[in-house]
Structure 1
């Protein structure tokens, strides 16, 4: 303190900022010893020069929660209406009842807004400070204030799960059915937080559980997506017609959010595991997904996938089958679940390329473990050896891509040896066409492949009857083994 007194004898020393634009008075404003600030300000007025961050001594003291420093600055003439660079007032930054009270007594405007049009009412609601809210309301605060998103203090209290603040605001006239410009209701915000007290309080005061947002979401969708088991409250109160009009089931929301417990609750309550998105909502997704199972598989939620499959979810309700999505994403556990549920391992997706061989193989050429899962699950490997390259007849449709043409492209041919070696373990007798042989002869696997095919009985590629019989036998045996393993 003695050194500070000596420094105060040289006023020029007090007018030099540091690298952050902070003057000594700014530093003193955030010190808990009010005597330091008082000594610096003795006989002078607080500087109005802000720091480089736009903070004034009063905003700094308010943010630090230093009541005595705030009161001293107000006493010496600091204006509580001066803001920082974010247009935040000291009142907005104050975190205690005493600070708020001192600032209001010192002339702070309760309704003054920051750049986000956020008021002290919003901030007190966010913090759940009922005492501060009462003080603000007595001093002119309004429950109908909205921020730049059109959100009221009531919605903020609901979003952050503060039932006491909600009750106070409702008693002072807050509208429980107020809607933000995007259509979000206060009840939807409460459903996000998952606080049962908030949800029940709003419902008791007339909040509508069937009011959709502009994106067609109901409070039940929001609760399901967030994984809040306050969902139990909303299930019996939400009309099936409102859900039908929304175009999506809360089962979709729970699956998208990855909440298996919410999925189980919804299914036990009678919701359909095979509900589909309406077409215009499906078109919001590039893959045109429609089923809840697709959301679970696409997001990699194995537990949700299992719940849906156990409830009878079908695996082929989307343009791109769920199995192909799981294979493409390398999700082995989900692939096992889907195969055990009898997903079609030999399905086709012809939008990108129309192939002779089933599509799934295209997505796992570098993943031998995945390839073997598919082959053990009944993948028709013999179709990879069907082509017309060595035939005088053109029996295949010209637009269909054969495996030898597919694997023979420059960016895939380096994988051919390993892929064909694995395929040959799961087929009967096949011959390699000249094109595929030419590709394979450059691989180190060629001697083994050549020996394997030579030791087999020579059957032409078109004679697939014998192969098909064995393929179907392997298919049913392996599916049974996978099912037993999954159990």
Structure 2
């Protein structure tokens, strides 16, 4: 049984008078539950601002460190920006990372308070954390990837403006090209946002087979949501994505000076409505290349 102190329960209730009375009679704010959580965590998670203000001065940092979790995480997890802002102004570190034993409780092994805020789609909390110096690339799953999955333009833009790595490679379902593209194939706004922040477009056209006929790609185990480690041409020519190839490549060509289109990608593009426009751009590359060579 996970026993908790009377003060811990009072923190969950959020009544500042009850908390003050308990503290006056010697209640210790640094006594954790069996799980390691302190009263300050409970108040921050529940969004009890007045209770939190009373608990901050009587909670030792050593006790917080021992718990393996910051009240910053708790406020972000509960989506309470007022509490979060107060904690940050009180000197709590926006980059305090969850202890390893706490991370094990999450399938995604999250570490940062920012990850909690982004997962909640909580733009206010994410903004507060980033303004306080939170680093956006600390978690095993990139915070930007979460925003991309959600299709949240505002969060994406916020993270990118604060240095989120647009060229990250996901540890699961990795591809030869940076992973962010997988979430933007159907959305031109999202696609251009990635490109504008320095997405490595050239990696998408990096195919060693070139003009040589590609061997039949084995698709056992592939689904529309699981993409294995492979080249862009093999992904975008899959049956459920081929219809997007023209629009995606046409956008990409606005962000590169010269690329070579491999045999497989070209075959798919020739079936698309935008092929004449794409071919015209590629032909200009060749003309410019000949002029430079001359």
TM-score class, shorter = 0.7 to 0.9
Native 8 Å contact 1:276 1:291 kept in 2 = yes
Q: Does 1:376 align with 2:183?
A: no
What's the counterpart of residue 196 of structure 1? 16
Aligned with 1:220: secondary structure?
helix
Q: Deviations over 1:3-39 (max 9, x none)?
A: xxxxxxxxxxxxxxxxxxxxxxxxxxxxxxxxxxxxx
What's the counterpart of residue 363 of structure 1? 183
What's the counterpart of residue 260 of structure 1? 81
Aligned with 2:57: secondary structure?
coil
- Counterparts of 1:271 and 1:320, CA distance in 2: 24
Deviation at 1:183, TM superposition (A): 1.9
What's the counterpart of residue 310 of structure 1? 131
Aligned with 1:236: secondary structure?
helix
Deviation at 1:414, TM superposition (A): 2.3
Out of 320, 324, 336, the position equivalent to 2:157 is 336
What's the counterpart of residue 182 of structure 1? 2
Deviation at 1:400, TM superposition (A): 5.3
Deviation at 1:410, TM superposition (A): 2.2
Deviation at 1:206, TM superposition (A): 2.2
Q: Deviations over 1:443-479 (max 9, x none)?
A: 222222222222223699xxxxxxxxxxxxxxxxxxx
Q: What stretches of structure 1 move > 4 A for 4+ residues in a row?
A: none
What's the counterpart of residue 155 of structure 1? none
Distance 1:349 1:389, change over 3 A: same
Q: Structure 2-normalised TM-score?
A: 0.88
Deviation at 1:358, TM superposition (A): 1.1
Deviation at 1:436, TM superposition (A): 0.4
- Counterparts of 1:382 and 1:446, CA distance in 2: 19
Aligned length: 273
Q: Does 1:246 align with 2:67?
A: yes
- Counterparts of 1:267 and 1:336, CA distance in 2: 23
Q: Deviations over 1:403-440 (max 9, x none)?
A: 11121222222221221121112211112111001112
RMSD, aligned CA: 1.8
Q: Does 1:293 align with 2:101?
A: no
What's the counterpart of residue 417 of structure 1? 246
Native 8 Å contact 2:211 2:262 kept in 1 = no
Native 8 Å contact 1:431 1:458 kept in 2 = no
- Counterparts of 2:287 and 2:14, CA distance in 1: 67
Deviation at 1:249, TM superposition (A): 0.5
- Counterparts of 1:387 and 1:196, CA distance in 2: 64
Out of 28, 52, 57, the position equivalent to 1:208 is 28
Distance 1:459 1:198, change over 3 A: farther
Q: Does 1:456 align with 2:285?
A: yes
What's the counterpart of residue 292 of structure 2? none
Say which structure, 1 or 2, has more relative contact order (CA 8 Å, 6+ apart). 2
- Counterparts of 1:184 and 1:423, CA distance in 2: 56
What's the counterpart of residue 105 of structure 1? none
Q: Deviations over 1:64-87 (max 9, x none)?
A: xxxxxxxxxxxxxxxxxxxxxxxx
Native 8 Å contact 2:173 2:229 kept in 1 = no
- Counterparts of 2:206 and 2:177, CA distance in 1: 8
What's the counterpart of residue 444 of structure 1? 273
Q: Deviations over 1:247-299 (max 9, x none)?
A: 10100001111111211111111111001111121121111100111111111
**Which structure 2 residue ranges, 5 or more long, are not aligned?**
213-227, 290-294
Native 8 Å contact 2:3 2:33 kept in 1 = yes
- Counterparts of 1:437 and 1:221, CA distance in 2: 56
**Which structure 1 residue ranges, 5 or more long, are not aligned?**
1-180, 393-398, 461-487
Out of 407, 415, 418, the position equivalent to 2:236 is 407
Distance 1:411 1:208, change over 3 A: same
Deviation at 1:391, TM superposition (A): 6.5
What's the counterpart of residue 273 of structure 1? 94
Q: Deviations over 1:298-340 (max 9, x none)?
A: 1111111111111111111111111121112111111111111
Native 8 Å contact 1:431 1:459 kept in 2 = no
What's the counterpart of residue 479 of structure 1? none
Distance 1:204 1:458, change over 3 A: farther
